[in-house]
Chain A
Amino acid sequence: MTGNSEELRKARERRKRLKYLLIHIVVIAASAACIYPLLRIFSVSLRPGDKLFSTDLSIIPDGASFKAYASLLKDTMFLRWLWNSLLITLATSFIGVSLASTAAYAFSRFRFPGKKAGLILLLSSQMIPAGMLILPLFLMIMKLRLMNTYLGMIIAYSVSSLPFSIWILKGYYDTIPRSLEEAALVDGTSQVGAFWRIILPLSTPALSIAFLFNFTTAWNEYLVARVVLFSAKQYTWTLGLFELQGQYITQWGMFAAGSMLVTIPVLCVFLYSSKWLISGLTLGSVKG
């Protein structure tokens, strides 16, 4: 009797182990599929110039070198493109977060006529396809004579993440107890002072997430940049990389090197902030 149940337990144990083995195999396969293209870019970026088009599948190719990186930085305007992207993106995120931080405070702490309508408007503005607004924005920028400039790009980008930022920040402000501000008000600050000295410093995590969201959205944008910028000197890195890959035959190694240089920091930032971003993404819709 005891031997029998021992047998049964062992069989169950074995089944369980088999199950976990299978799970690991499937998940490892899926993970491989997810990162393999990235590894391939890495591998291409290391290839020596005469072997760019080999059908070799190994990750570290024979005669690996960083020559592609060197020529990318030396022979193309890659650093300039990165700089352009950085300037545009920083300005955009700064404007976006500043506007969002005060607006979200109004939505979080006050009751006023039109509040509900404003919130609904904010959510429904997310329904307007981004692709749809590119044309009128392009024409407006043309009319303002801001084509091919940083300012045109900043204008086009600055409000695109505003509704989402307001939504995240409002959610965060809602969690800060009102008693903190009330104490400050009793001590003689104005409401604006309480916002500036108490709410904003306490909201640094949410502000930085909103900033990161604005930053990554503008950093990775391609379609608006395509139509607003036309001289290689003003390109953002997305346009630059596309150009490099467009001239497929000659620049494949440089394209890969550039991709690696851009992807690594973005990956790190994303992995760091992903938890927050996801909760923000689903929060609004779950509550609504």
Chain B
Amino acid sequence: MDILRSIFEVSGFILLIAAGVAAMTGYLYSHFKYYDRAWYWPLAVVAYPLLALLGLKAAGLYSDGAFAWLLGASALIAVFFRYIVKGRNSLPYLLLAPAFVGLALLLVYPFVFEVYLSFHDLKLTTIMMWKNTGSIPFVWFRQYVNVFTTSPLSEVSFWALLGRTLLWTFSNVFFHVAGGFGLALLLNNSIRFKGAYRTLLVVPWAMPQVVAVLAMRGEFHATNGFVNIVLSKLAAAFPFLAHLGLGPVQWLSDYPLLTCTLINIWLGIPFMMVVILGGLQSISKSYYDAADIDGASYFQKLRYITLPLIKPVLMPAVTLGTVWTFNNINVIYLVTGQAGGTEQADILVSALYKAAFTYNRYSYSAAFAIVVFALLFFISVFYLHGFDAAKEER
């Protein structure tokens, strides 16, 4: 029974969306098509607002003054279509409208809402008030001040998180590229079983990330994890290693950031490998033949042929990888997010998530998010600028 009900619920919702899209398309179509008819004005300025009013009343969302707003908005829209659009380019706009509205409602609006939140004070004690009345105290820039002066979690500060994030991003991307490049170079030889190796090597990327991270987290467990079993077996087999301090390590409690980094390096190498391998395979062999005739060494070929030629593939992948790593909540949250988890591994974005949903500091988290976004924006503009400059140089 439950199953049937869930199917009805979801398919009903899809039908509702389809109806919404159809209604919107019809609405826009009439504006595009009949903008110069005599009955355009009554339709656009009287009939549509009335219909919308009825709809609002039926949905129970009607509030005083809504009709005035509807009238004003309809008049503006009508003027816009009558004197500016004049029915031009109707088809592409009609095709774009559903996606555009979707993005506006679920991407742009949340973003604006987040900015709004960051200037107000929404937290556990004010959320009921907001839920019922929709109003929350306005606090100017206090949340932004708080971001830099108080901790998003219980002790670690913004600046410590920033440092940790940069370290995390840099070390991950470095090892991703280094590991991926190395493996791609090896696979680019004409060796046997190449396809099989390639398939096996992308497994960490292909696995659902939740499973991969949780499984790896298990491998770093103090007594039952693979890593510690191997370490203790090594220490037992070679006593001199044990004297040097080799032995089981409390990975999750003593070195959480290192553990997360190791896990994420394992996860990220395959993507870089595949991208770089694609780049390597597109390099024509004749370059290397020419270099061989000139007597170039292996490293000279690597430096003067391979690197410059895969740069157009590598740079976007590195940019993408940097942004992904910077924004990676998943790995850190899945490793440390359980009750009693540590905050020694948190980076900016995971602290932001925890501040909102573990500590219920919504507005604080919103201000934090805006700061992080500004930071990321600044970094990527800087990055892309450097990328363009490098492009021009060539």
Interface of A with B (CB < 8 Å)?
Answer: 20, 23-24, 26-28, 30-31, 33-38, 40-41, 44, 53, 55, 57, 83-84, 87-88, 90-91, 94-95, 98-100, 102-103, 105-107, 109-110, 112-113, 115, 118, 125, 127-140, 142-143, 149-151, 154-156, 158-159, 162-163, 166, 191-192, 219-220, 222-223, 226-227, 238, 241-242, 245-246, 252, 255, 259, 262-263, 266-267, 270-271, 274, 278, 281-282, 285-286, 288
Contact = CB atoms under 8 A, between A and B. Distances in A.
Nearest to A133: B110
Contact of B320 (A44, A130, A281): A281
B113 A223 contact: no
A191 B7 CA distance: 35
A99 B98 contact: yes
Given A159-B106, A263-B208, A112 B89 contact: yes
Given A37-B216, A223-B353, A278 B278 contact: yes
A106 B99 CA distance: 11
B317 interface: yes
Nearest to B216: A37
A222 B131 contact: no
Contacts of B14: 91, 94-95
Given A154-B10, A282-B275, A129 B372 contact: yes
B330 interface: yes
Given A131-B329, A223-B333, A142 B131 contact: yes
Interface of B: 3, 6-7, 9-10, 13-14, 17, 89, 91-93, 95-96, 98-100, 102-103, 106-107, 109-111, 113-114, 117, 122, 131, 183, 186-187, 189, 191-192, 197, 199-212, 214-219, 223-224, 226, 229-230, 266, 270, 274-275, 278, 312-313, 316-317, 319-320, 323, 326-327, 329-330, 333-334, 338-339, 349-350, 352-353, 356-357, 362, 365-366, 369, 372-373, 376-377, 380
Contacts of B203: 34-35, 38, 267
B199 to A, nearest CB: 6
Contacts of B274: 274, 278
Contacts of B353: 131, 134, 223
Contacts of A130: 327
A186 to B, nearest CB: 18
A259 B215 contact: yes
A27 B215 contact: no
Contacts of A127: 323, 376-377, 380
